[in-house]
Amino acid sequence: MPIILKLGRVMADRKMSLNTLSEKVGVANVNLSKIKTGKVSAIRFSTLEAICKALNCQPGDILEYRPDPTDALSAEKKPEETDNKKT
């Protein structure tokens, strides 16, 4: 997955436990744990906002985009395929 969640790293930097963050954010411990381990496919902006407020950080501190190398190769091939279809 090209989106990497770095919540655990930010929590460690702030020396904040999952239980403490859960209390501050108002989100169940189990749901924060899923976010921390990257086992989610979506996160609400309101949850992200509450996490950032509790940890005094920016969304970019928690989320990172890493392009999938196989997708990049596919994207490079698409223009060639289009050119071949025109001739």
* pLDDT tens track for 22-61: 999 999 999 999 999 999 999 999 999 999 999 999 999 9
Torsional sign, CA 10, 16, 18, 23: negative
Mean pLDDT of the chain: 87
Percent of residues, the chain, with pLDDT higher than 90 = 72
Task: Report the predicted TM-score, pTM, of the whole model to 2 decimal places.
Answer: 0.76
Task: Give, rounded to a whole angstrom, the gap between the first and last alpha carbons of the chain.
Answer: 36
Q: Residue 69 has what pLDDT?
A: 81
User: Which pLDDT belongs to residue 78?
Assistant: 53
Q: Give the ranges where 1-87 is alpha helix by DSSP (H).
A: 7-14, 18-25, 29-37, 45-55, 59-62, 69-86
φ, ψ of residue 64 in degrees (nearest 5) = -135, 140
- Domain 3-86 = CATH 1.10.260.40: yes
Which pLDDT score, from 0 to 100, does residue 2 have? 87
Q: Domains of the chain: which residue ranges?
A: 3-86
CA angle 73, 67, 7 (to 5 degrees): 160
Q: Is the pLDDT of residue 81 over 80?
A: no
The Cα diameter of the chain in Å comes to 63
